[in-house]
Amino acid sequence: MRILVITTEWPTPDRPHCVPFLKRQVELLRSKGVDVYIFYFKGRGNPLNYVKAFFSLRKIIKMGNFQLIHAQWGQSAVPALGCGLPLVITFRGSDLYGITKMDGSYSLKGKLLKNISRFMAHRASHVILVAEQMRSKLSNIPQDRISVVPSGVNLNLFYPMDKHECRKRLNLSIDRKIIMFGGDPERPDKRFYLANKAISLIQNTLDVELLVVKEVPHASMPVYINASDVVLLTSKHEGSPNIVKEALACNCPVVSVDVGDVKQRLAGLNNCYVVNDTPEDIAQALINVLISDNLTDFRNTVLSLNEEALIDKVLNIYNSLIK
């Protein structure tokens, strides 16, 4: 099987650690014997970049003998219009929800992105959503052309470790309560300001530190998670946030606003909270976690999200489309 993956996000020399979930998916496909060619282009909201990508892609398709195209994010699929090959599109969140401004509201560019994504979804041979909650955004698409396949978890990488040892490795305080922020603080949709406001409300009650993890190798993430007392997610929207699943695989509690499939992942778990997106509610949930000595085996809840099993679902979709 030879497929062409189109994406507007891929590791580069200046951003070597971005989209680890996508890089890992490609590695798993290759380990299954799939010949994967990566077509990466920078869209940056510029129509000219998409026109250039359209023509570049045609040249590659002529030489490549591909059987299928898999676009990551709705906008990445635009250059594949009319290519004559089966097209699979994975929607991951912002492509169907929109792009947020610094004040948390959705931008005009974000609304345009949503419309483009829906347009491309109608032209796809098959659509993959990373969370069931996203299905409502594509209500006009025949349901037999939609599959829900979350990004999987590398359970061999993410597992419980000794907290004190992890803190020593990272030169973190042994005594302080550490709250790990689950996102890039520079991205408006991650709403870092909301996390900061919540932390400010509990600093007089508990000795806490907000740990921001950015641009680190994915292989180092389990050390940061295991060094933390809780992972905090304050995003405006998400699809199926990997940081939540990875935290659970490490038996680390999670406090999150209600986005994506988080409520599904945390349902019934002691010492994990899905809260309203107000600093007061977030702060109270954090306090509840940090003063609790309730240790729970969260890892069992994500065993079904083993990346090996989920990549087989993607392969089954490919096989159903290749004649």
Give the domain CATH number at 126.
Answer: 3.40.50.2000
101 — pLDDT class (breaks 50, 70, 90): confident
**108 lies in the same domain as 198:** no
pLDDT of residue 111: 81
**88 lies in the same domain as 141:** yes
pLDDT of residue 109: 78
243 — pLDDT class (breaks 50, 70, 90): very high
**In this structure, what token pair is assigned to residue 17?**
């650690």
Is 110's pLDDT higher than 80? no
| 183 DSSP assignment | S
**180 lies in the same domain as 248:** yes
Residue 158 lies in a domain: no
109 SS3 class? helix
pLDDT digits (tens, 9 = 90+) for 165-202: 999 999 999 999 999 998 889 888 999 999 999 999 99
pLDDT digits (tens, 9 = 90+) for 2-14: 999 999 999 999 8
Q: Which domain holds residue 224?
A: 163-304
Residue 157 lies in a domain: no
**173 lies in the same domain as 115:** no
pLDDT of residue 64: 84
| pTM across the whole model | 0.91
**171 lies in the same domain as 82:** no
Note whether 108 and 45 are within 8 A (CB).
no
**312 lies in the same domain as 287:** no
269 SS3 class? coil
How far is the first Cα of the chain from the last one, in angstroms, to the nearest whole number? 11
